[in-house]
Homo-oligomer: A and B are copies of this chain.
Amino acid sequence: MPNETKATDKFTIIDELARRRGFFWQSNDIYGGVAGFATYGPLGAKLKQNIERKLRELFVNKLGILEIESPIITPAKVFEASGHVDHFKEPMVECLKCKKRFRADHLLQEFAKIDESESEKMGLKELKEAIEKHNIKCSECGGTLGEPKLFLTMFKTTIGPYSQAIGYGRPEAAQGIFVEFRRLYEMAREKLPFGVLQIGHALRNEISPRQGLIRLREFTIVDLEFFFDPEEPDCLLLKDVENEKLHLFLAEAKLRGSEEITDVTVKEALRKGYIKTEWQAFFMACFQKLVEDLGVPAEKQRFIEKLPWERAHYSIQSFDQQFYDERWGWTEVSGHAYRTDYDLKRHMEFSGQDMRVYKEYEKPVEREQLVIKPIMARLGPTFKKDAAAVAKMLSKANAEEIKVSIEKSGHYMLGKYKVLPEHMEIQRQKVVERGRRFIPHVVEPSVGSDRLVYVALEYAYRVKDDRTLLSFPRDIAPIQIGIYPLVSKDGLPEKASELHEMLLDEGFIVDYDEAGSIGRRYARADEIGIPLGITVDYDTLKDNTVTIRDRDSWRQVRSSIEALPELLCKYFKWKINFEDLGKPFKG
C-alpha cells in the first residue's frame, strides 16, 4: 500500500523527469490515456535494452541458459492446463449505483487498513463481510457495493475467424517454455540440469492498475525456468555464491506478526532449511547481485517468503525479492518460485505428451521384487470360466499388498474374487533397473524489465548543488558519452563532429550537443545520466587533446584523442576508473 503521498517524493520526481526527458510516460495520452500502459521514449528504451542485455550476458552467454521467443497470444488450452483459467483471478466489486468496479481486496487495504497478506487470504464471502463491517462505499459516488465476484485477469481474444477459438494474452512467458519442453530438452542434449529463459511482453488485465511502471497491464517479463532432477538437486555453481549474505523475511516470522529479518549466507540458508532448493538459493543470490549492479545496495533489498495463501497455485515455496521504495515501501522486484513438476505434469495430463525424461543410472541397479505366479491348475477348479481372467488380474496386482493380506487374513479379495494362498506362488525375484523416468523439477526466477528500469532510475537519482543527476552505473547509462564543442565557432564544431563520427564508428552510444552554454549542456547531460562528457576546445585544435568530465564528481581529466577508443572501451567494461582516462585538469 502507498505511504502518504508527498508532492516531492521520488516517485513523483522520477515520473516527472521521465516524462520530460523521454524515459517513459503513459501511452496514448492524446486520447486521455488508459491506466497500466507505458511508452518508453528513446532514453527509456535504451536503458531497458541495456538492462536486458546485462541479464542476457549473465544468464545466456555466461551460464549457457537457452533463450527462446514465443508468442504472446496463446490458445486457451495452454492456460487451461497451466491452471491460469481457473486461478488467475482477482476479487472485484461493483457499485450498485454508478456501476464502477473496484478490486475488493484493495478497497479493504485502502479504507480499512487491512494488511495485504490478510486481504489476499479472504474468500468472496469474507470480503463481502469485511466490506459491510467497515462500511466501505463506492469512492466515486458513495453508492453501496454489490456482491464480490472473481474477475479473470487475462486478456481474452479469438484467434482466426471462428469465435470459439479462444486465445489469451499470456500473463507469464513461462508456459511458452513448458509446452516446448521436449524439444528444448533435446536442444540441451538431453541432459539435466538446464535452463531456458524468455524476455518478452506479457499481459495482465488488472482491474485498476496503479504505481506507474511498477504495475502495468502490459509489461516485459523475464522468465527463467530451470529444470533439474529432484533426486540430484545439487547446484553445481553454489560455490560461487555460498558466502553471499541474504536478508530473509521468513514466513515463520510473518506468521508471528514479527518483521524480523534473518541475515544468513546462502550456505546457511540452505543448511537451516530456510530455502528448500539449492538452485533457488543460487538464483536468489544472482538476482541480489544483479539488482545491486543496477544501483540498489544490498541493505535496501530483502527476500520475503510468501505465505501459503499468497503463493501462486503452482508453487511450494516462493520468495519475492523486494527493494525499498521511498513512496511504496518494500516493493517486489523479482519473484522466485519453486514450481516443482507442477507445470510439466499438467501439460502431460492435458496434452498426452510424455514430459518425463529418462536418466540412466551410472551402474544398473539390482533390486529384489515380489512376484505373484498364479497356479492355473488350482485356479481352474475354483473359478471355472473366470480362471484365466483371475490369473491375469493376479499377476498384475500389487504383490506386496497380496502378501500382507494373506499373512493377515489368509486370503485376498481380487475385486469380487476371493483368492487363497494355494492359488499362487509368491516369489522373490531379482530385477535389473538401468535408469528411471521422471518429470524434472523447476525453479523459476521471474522479473519485470519495467520494474528494473524503475528501480535503476530511482536509485540513480541524486541532487547535487540543486542540480538533478542520474547516476546510472556506467554500463546501463542510455547514452555513454556527450561530445561538446566549447563554442559554436572557429572550427570547434567541425572538430567535435569528427570526434563524434569516430566514436560512433567504434560502436559507442554518443550524443552531440552544441546548443547553449557549456554549463547548460553539462547540466542537461547530468540530468539524463551521461557518464562522460568530452569537450573540444581551442587547445584541441593545437594538440589534439580533449577534456573528459565525470558526471558524478564533475572532475575533469585531459586526454589525447588517439588514446580515447581504447581507454573508453576499458572504462565502460569496468576495467579502469575515471582517473585512468587522462591527466587531472582544472577547467
Asked if A67 and B39 sit within 8 Å, CB to CB, the answer is no
The answer to whether the Cβ of A424 comes within 8 Å of any Cβ in the partner chain is no
Asked if B169 and A73 sit within 8 Å, CB to CB, the answer is yes
Asked if A157 and B160 sit within 8 Å, CB to CB, the answer is no
Which residues of chain B are near A41, meaning CB under 8 Å? 66, 68, 180, 183-184, 187
The answer to whether the Cβ of A564 comes within 8 Å of any Cβ in the partner chain is no
Asked if B31 and A179 sit within 8 Å, CB to CB, the answer is yes
Copies of this chain: 2
Interface-central residue, A61, A206, A207, by most chain B CB under 10 Å: A61
The answer to whether the Cβ of A135 comes within 8 Å of any Cβ in the partner chain is no
Asked if B71 and A39 sit within 8 Å, CB to CB, the answer is yes
The answer to whether the Cβ of A10 comes within 8 Å of any Cβ in the partner chain is no
Which residues of chain B are near A25, meaning CB under 8 Å? 183
Asked if B515 and A189 sit within 8 Å, CB to CB, the answer is yes
In the bound assembly, the distance between CA atoms of A157 and B347 in angstroms comes to 26
Instruction: Give, as a whole number of angstroms, the nearest-CB distance from A278 to chain B.
Output: 23
B-facing mask of A151-170, CB < 8 A → 1, else 0?
Answer: 10001111111100101010
Asked if A73 and B203 sit within 8 Å, CB to CB, the answer is yes
The answer to whether the Cβ of A38 comes within 8 Å of any Cβ in the partner chain is yes
From 174 to 215 in chain A, residues with beta carbon under 8 angstroms from any chain B beta carbon are: 176, 179-180, 182-184, 186-187, 189, 200-201, 203, 205-208
Asked if B183 and A218 sit within 8 Å, CB to CB, the answer is no
Instruction: Please give me the residue from chain B that is nearest to A65 by CB atom.
Output: B42
Among A74-82, A289-297, A401-409, A484-492, the stretch that binds chain B is A74-82
From 56 to 96 in chain A, residues with beta carbon under 8 angstroms from any chain B beta carbon are: 57, 61-62, 66-75, 77-78, 92
Asked if B27 and A70 sit within 8 Å, CB to CB, the answer is yes
Determine chain A's interface SS by DSSP, over half rule.
mixed
Instruction: Give, as a whole number of angstroms, the nearest-CB distance from A33 to chain B.
Output: 9
Asked if A101 and B162 sit within 8 Å, CB to CB, the answer is yes
Asked if B73 and A218 sit within 8 Å, CB to CB, the answer is yes
In the bound assembly, the distance between CA atoms of A169 and B25 in angstroms comes to 20
The answer to whether the Cβ of A40 comes within 8 Å of any Cβ in the partner chain is yes
Asked if B160 and A206 sit within 8 Å, CB to CB, the answer is yes
B-facing mask of A29-52, CB < 8 A → 1, else 0?
Answer: 011001111111110111010000
Asked if A92 and B161 sit within 8 Å, CB to CB, the answer is yes
Instruction: Please give me the residue from chain B that is nearest to A38 by CB atom.
Output: B71
Contact-residue size bin, chain A (C-beta under 8 Å from the other chain): 35 or more
Instruction: Give, as a whole number of angstroms, the nearest-CB distance from A297 to chain B.
Output: 26
Which residues of chain B are near A38, meaning CB under 8 Å? 71
Given contacts A189-B515, A205-B159, A353-B30, contact A71 B218 (CB under 8 A): yes
- Residue among B39, B69, B71 making CB contact with A69, cutoff 8 Å: B39
Asked if B161 and A207 sit within 8 Å, CB to CB, the answer is yes
In the bound assembly, the distance between CA atoms of A167 and B72 in angstroms comes to 15
Asked if B71 and A37 sit within 8 Å, CB to CB, the answer is yes
B-facing mask of A430-465, CB < 8 A → 1, else 0?
Answer: 000000000000000000000000000000000000
Asked if A75 and B28 sit within 8 Å, CB to CB, the answer is yes
Which residues of chain B are near A35, meaning CB under 8 Å? 160
- Residue among B31, B72, B179, B218 making CB contact with A351, cutoff 8 Å: B31
Given contacts A73-B217, A176-B39, A187-B42, contact A159 B68 (CB under 8 A): no
The answer to whether the Cβ of A380 comes within 8 Å of any Cβ in the partner chain is no
The answer to whether the Cβ of A509 comes within 8 Å of any Cβ in the partner chain is yes
List 7 A-B pairs, Cβ < 8 Å. Answer: A22-B186, A27-B71, A30-B182, A37-B71, A45-B68, A156-B158, A158-B205
